[in-house]
Chain A
């Protein structure tokens, strides 16, 4: 937390190496640090060869879904005669997640480079970086860096003098969480209401402006230059040796009731318990940790005990009943009321529902209504059934997963902290009683 950046010795710095160094924001400063070597290299390669390197590296999407990046790129048919587009998803709005923000604030050229390589690798001449509207500083940084890069001929109609066209544009969001959903994001760029689209067709077939499109997260694209420069083998070695499915480093945003909140970059598979207690400093004095939402607010809530068993990669998180998601880690301690926290999350989703699908529009509102009633002490025993019934209606039945994201913490919260809800109904105090004591 705080700058100048003082990384913890157990971090592995790849993406965050230059966080806190203002000079790295400038083109000269970035070049001094090895910037744009990868792009130069890439523009001399066959796009498919780049796809193969990225495939080989095992890089997976850092936005939440963890889809293999190289594979995603290979869906784009180079030379199909259609314009291709790359969208960089910088609409980082998931509660608890703030890693992309720091990449854009401190190393905007790293993202431009990654975007340019990605665009070239999928046969796109145009890439959009869709940045969350509230990110005023990152937008400024990105735009300034783009001006520099354009002026230097790094991007544009003759990128780095290779005769290849790579145009990169910033598109500002207008404050809707749902525009971080890839198809809603495309609608938003097109100037339409940011409603998610029905899939299929998938973006690689008909995406932005109806054309083949790839959407990648900021952190994903920022990792690509490092992979090109250092090689896939180097990247694959980052991570635990017994899980080749998760490679590289991962930025973790940590917030909540913890001594040292902030962004941390660790190798895939880092032990979660050590991360929480050692790297992040553990619980605040006099408190105990109660619950962790490790991957942004959409993933199941786990208890501290479950978290301590976890390993910080895609598979390691699944193993303890949750997901890596966007690695926005929300730490909740014993001083907090779980029903209140969950009600707040539900309210967020209700507020952000695009209102297309019945289950989401009505379900999130109703769920919130019930949870807030419970928090206010007016809950009833039937509310559990109603909540679970609505949650069932909201799971797996809608166009996008916002509805599921609302249902997930409700279901896991009731499962794991039911006694706190019951106490509210029976009006007994349960605060400061940890469920599981480590």
Chain B
């Protein structure tokens, strides 16, 4: 390792380290412009030139390898003169008249000040020009301040691996260009804002979608970030969208979040400072004018003789049926004509969002929705809620109550809510949306190795894995920051195998794309394992030492030759073989999956067949061999970990164990027998017709849109005796509530969240809740107290202390420790323990430390295309929206990108039925039909259609099949049969090709 001296400081750097690395290590600030951590050093700005003894030329510190015995002077006379020269040259074309006298607004201006360079326009060269588009809702370019450092070009290419930007032309006409034709959408831009982050001058800056008050008190509508008035403070937070768990810096002014910045790239955050479009530009929902600011009580509830009763004749309650309101049912809304959509994004113009107007006027909660409610005091709302919950407990029994918790809320809030229902109201009817996403993964993983979380970390996948096997996960859209990490891994040389029915972005970058029919994954996995065994590529040592019952699986996969798997799945046998060999040969293969595997009536089977593959090849328990179910919501892992599921307390301790129940009862100060020893109802069981549930409490979920068979759900919720909803907007579900409790968004509270790699992170309150709204934790504490469960917590930290006491694998967790920005990956055994990046190096958490194989047979999906419903419907997410759209459709930048529902239809099918891009079709299933615009896309195979789940006006879950997985009770969101008709004709059109031949689907039993 070379040792050198810089300005008299001696320092040692790794071989290959540069002079700049050495300088930074000893705290010497060599100025840089084109250099940026983790980007390739191009050494083009020439500002970092330093003097090195024995060399007559100045050398670029960023691009000169440190050598033993080098003597460097960072601020020699020559170096300073050279820097002044560089800055002077750059200033010649920089709009100097804009530089404020008082302060530097950006890195470049700071250097101009530091080297005291006069700003004179002697050359009279024209200002630099370049991309001058306007109308983009999030990112703007002002190329007159561009200094051509090319950081943006490299960040786009090397960090996000998109490559939208480049340098065009040469000489003084060189400029940064966007795509080949100036249209970022044509170049695949996802508006992640990486270019904004790295720009040293603000030439690329963001338009702040949030209203900001200027110094003189006037409102600045969507100001430019490089012209924003100074902020009051910056607060470190955790992104409320997906489970990557990106840390964000919220910039606050006048108690308003005005801007989102990502943390410095070198900080230890899961995102290494990157964000996606949602994280950077999708947080303005926090101060959307629809935010609930005061408790609401349904008209008709009156307090008589000290008790609340519902009097349908009171007030204007009689205007609507019980729990009704002046709105269309979602089913009716689904059939309405849709506003003309934007065309295919690949054909959009650059003219921006003009014709659509301000989305805040379009997707806001209709004022009529508020009509059945009156504003109430907190005392009234809490009193009514407590009274009704306890009344139902006492009259109909605890099992008539149920609670839907929230993967959007913190661990502390979820813990308190399940505590209230278990300890206070005596029911285990506690569940949340994990049921609808990874419950089948959890049941399969519990069965095989008694675990419920990822074994490894995202960083391992990016940096170490040799093979990445990604199944049913559209990572670049659903978890974009992790998707970029996978793309970087592929660039580094990792092999990517994608198994997905759609040709998603990662599939087109993959080495092997297994384009299996939806729901045929068991056949693919069994076929791969068959081939692995045939070649003897299994890890015999691992199987022998660490597993049970392999022979049963060996026998079960015997009939699944790659040819047979191919016949079922439609994947060529050669690809199955190649994928199997590459995966098994690793040497370090990571396995990632998401909803594409789990949301099936055979979800548990599918994941089990994948686990068999993992275990048979020993691809677990080593760095780079990660088992990573990619979680959806930002805290779906944490909510499950702290017991928001019907079978378990925190840490997956079963409710059926009396000893465990005793521990919790004691901690909560309630008698043991108040809490049943029987597991409670799952979400999908709660909403069934024969469910005993009469009263419900929902925190931060919107089940009417997210449950399968929306029409049924909408009906079911109206039949409840009591419904309380704690949320930040009047959602489709909340409009049926008796009481609406205005809660807090992520930006308004302290709390911890667990990301997909078991990392517990602390998010801090940046702003107060709006109006009279309260922090969710305060609402829960108050309500617990009112139903008779004393809850003496002062803040979230105290709740976490209790969680740590009752949760063995979180024993060492506390808010104080989480103050360090990296968070802690559980298990954290004690206050000294540093967390566990990867699990199962030596043993699985089973009684004998071994995992168990379970043989799985392929079963076809519950509903398959037929003559009447010839298309296969697949559902999922889009880049710019999130789940039921509660947040993203209230975000200016996001909704402007995708403002209308679409169905992805293969051009061949569209041609056969004579519909074009943007035209409206009717998509019908056995359950309902919706009108929706077509987006032509060859991402979907002929015979398949894809509809995103975010749109109330074309709610895809009206169509989906409520068939449930027998173990996990997860619905089959991913497969159902539909017909597609042009909306203006009404006659059914068959698929242009018939890939869904009956044999593919019915040859279920391999025993045949």
Instruction: Tell me if A393 is interfacial: C-beta within 8 Å of chain B.
Output: yes
**How distant is the Cα of A136 from the Cα of B170 in the complex, in angstroms?**
23
**How distant is the Cα of A358 from the Cα of B47 in the complex, in angstroms?**
9
Given contacts A198-B60, A358-B44, A358-B46, contact A364 B125 (CB under 8 A): no
Instruction: Tell me if A399 is interfacial: C-beta within 8 Å of chain B.
Output: yes
Contact among B43, B148, B167 for A193, CB-based, below 8 A: B167
Q: Are B90 and A352 in contact (CB under 8 A)?
A: no
Nearest chain-A residue to B173 (Cβ)? A355
Nearest chain-A residue to B49 (Cβ)? A397
Q: Are A198 and B41 in contact (CB under 8 A)?
A: yes
Q: Are A356 and B125 in contact (CB under 8 A)?
A: no
Q: Are B89 and A355 in contact (CB under 8 A)?
A: no
6 A-B pairs in the complex with CB atoms less than 8 angstroms apart: A358-B45, A358-B89, A358-B90, A358-B147, A361-B171, A362-B93
Instruction: Tell me if A121 is interfacial: C-beta within 8 Å of chain B.
Output: no
Instruction: Tell me if B86 is interfacial: C-beta within 8 Å of chain A.
Output: yes
Q: Are A355 and B148 in contact (CB under 8 A)?
A: yes
Q: Report, nearest first, the 3 A-B pairs whose CB atoms are least far apart.
A: A355-B174, A365-B172, A393-B85
Q: Are B170 and A354 in contact (CB under 8 A)?
A: yes
**How distant is the Cα of A192 from the Cα of B997 in the complex, in angstroms?**
47
**How distant is the Cα of A408 from the Cα of B57 in the complex, in angstroms?**
17
Q: Are A352 and B171 in contact (CB under 8 A)?
A: yes
Chain A residues contacting B86 (CB-CB under 8 Å) are 358-359, 393
**How distant is the Cα of A200 from the Cα of B67 in the complex, in angstroms?**
13
Q: Are A365 and B42 in contact (CB under 8 A)?
A: no
**How distant is the Cα of A359 from the Cα of B90 in the complex, in angstroms?**
9
Nearest chain-B residue to A369 (Cβ)? B123
Q: Are B124 and A355 in contact (CB under 8 A)?
A: no
Instruction: Tell me if B3 is interfacial: C-beta within 8 Å of chain A.
Output: no
A331-352 residues with Cβ-Cβ distance < 8 A to B are: 350-352
Q: Are B125 and A397 in contact (CB under 8 A)?
A: no
**How distant is the Cα of A27 from the Cα of B487 in the complex, in angstroms?**
50
Chain B residues contacting A396 (CB-CB under 8 Å) are 56-58
Chain B residues contacting A361 (CB-CB under 8 Å) are 148, 171-172, 174
Chain A residues contacting B44 (CB-CB under 8 Å) are 356-358, 399
**How distant is the Cα of A370 from the Cα of B92 in the complex, in angstroms?**
13
Given contacts A355-B148, A392-B85, contact A362 B172 (CB under 8 A): yes
Chain A residues contacting B148 (CB-CB under 8 Å) are 355, 358, 361
**How distant is the Cα of A366 from the Cα of B121 in the complex, in angstroms?**
11
**How distant is the Cα of A356 from the Cα of B43 in the complex, in angstroms?**
9
CB 8 Å contact bits of B121-159 with A (1 = contact, 0 = none): 011110000000000000000000001100000000000
Nearest chain-B residue to A398 (Cβ)? B46
Q: Are B172 and A355 in contact (CB under 8 A)?
A: yes
Instruction: Tell me if A363 is interfacial: C-beta within 8 Å of chain B.
Output: yes
Shortest CB distance B2–A (Å)? 14
A345-401 residues with Cβ-Cβ distance < 8 A to B are: 350-359, 361-366, 369-370, 386, 389-390, 392-393, 396-399
Chain B residues contacting A15 (CB-CB under 8 Å) are none
Chain A residues contacting B147 (CB-CB under 8 Å) are 358
Nearest chain-B residue to A383 (Cβ)? B122
Nearest chain-B residue to A351 (Cβ)? B171
**How distant is the Cα of A79 from the Cα of B86 in the complex, in angstroms?**
44
Q: Are A397 and B82 in contact (CB under 8 A)?
A: yes
**How distant is the Cα of A330 from the Cα of B142 in the complex, in angstroms?**
44
Chain A residues contacting B43 (CB-CB under 8 Å) are 198, 399
Nearest chain-A residue to B168 (Cβ)? A193
Shortest CB distance B42–A (Å)? 7
Q: Are A363 and B89 in contact (CB under 8 A)?
A: yes
Instruction: Tell me if A323 is interfacial: C-beta within 8 Å of chain B.
Output: no
Shortest CB distance A28–B (Å)? 44
Shortest CB distance B538–A (Å)? 33
Q: Are A365 and B125 in contact (CB under 8 A)?
A: yes
Q: Are A397 and B58 in contact (CB under 8 A)?
A: yes
Instruction: Tell me if B169 is interfacial: C-beta within 8 Å of chain A.
Output: yes
CB 8 Å contact bits of B969-994 with A (1 = contact, 0 = none): 00000000000000000000000000
Instruction: Tell me if B741 is interfacial: C-beta within 8 Å of chain A.
Output: no
Q: Are A362 and B174 in contact (CB under 8 A)?
A: no
**How distant is the Cα of A397 from the Cα of B578 in the complex, in angstroms?**
52
CB 8 Å contact bits of A57-97 with B (1 = contact, 0 = none): 00000000000000000000000000000000000000000
**How distant is the Cα of A152 from the Cα of B42 in the complex, in angstroms?**
44
Shortest CB distance A271–B (Å)? 33
Q: Are B46 and A352 in contact (CB under 8 A)?
A: no
Chain A residues contacting B122 (CB-CB under 8 Å) are 386
Instruction: Tell me if B63 is interfacial: C-beta within 8 Å of chain A.
Output: yes
Given contacts A355-B148, A393-B85, A397-B82, contact A362 B169 (CB under 8 A): no
Shortest CB distance B145–A (Å)? 14
Instruction: Tell me if A176 is interfacial: C-beta within 8 Å of chain B.
Output: yes
Instruction: Tell me if B65 is interfacial: C-beta within 8 Å of chain A.
Output: yes
Q: Are A352 and B170 in contact (CB under 8 A)?
A: yes
Q: Are A393 and B82 in contact (CB under 8 A)?
A: yes
Shortest CB distance A385–B (Å)? 11
Shortest CB distance B424–A (Å)? 66
Nearest chain-B residue to A365 (Cβ)? B172
Q: Are A355 and B171 in contact (CB under 8 A)?
A: yes
**How distant is the Cα of A351 from the Cα of B171 in the complex, in angstroms?**
5
Chain A residues contacting B65 (CB-CB under 8 Å) are 200
With a 10 A CB-CB cut-off, give which of B41, B89, B125, B167 has the most chain A CB atoms.
B89
Chain B residues contacting A350 (CB-CB under 8 Å) are 171-172
Chain A residues contacting B172 (CB-CB under 8 Å) are 350, 353, 355, 361-362, 364-365
Nearest chain-A residue to B63 (Cβ)? A198
CB 8 Å contact bits of A181-208 with B (1 = contact, 0 = none): 0000000000001000010100000000
Chain B residues contacting A176 (CB-CB under 8 Å) are 170
Chain B residues contacting A355 (CB-CB under 8 Å) are 148, 167, 169-172, 174
B470-529 residues with Cβ-Cβ distance < 8 A to A are: none
Given contacts A353-B172, A386-B122, 18 further A-B contacts (CB under 8 A): A178-B170, A193-B167, A198-B41, A200-B65, A351-B171, A355-B171, A357-B45, A358-B45, A359-B46, A359-B86, A359-B89, A365-B171, A365-B172, A366-B89, A366-B123, A369-B124, A392-B85, A393-B85
Nearest chain-B residue to A178 (Cβ)? B170
**How distant is the Cα of A329 from the Cα of B123 in the complex, in angstroms?**
32
Nearest chain-B residue to A395 (Cβ)? B57
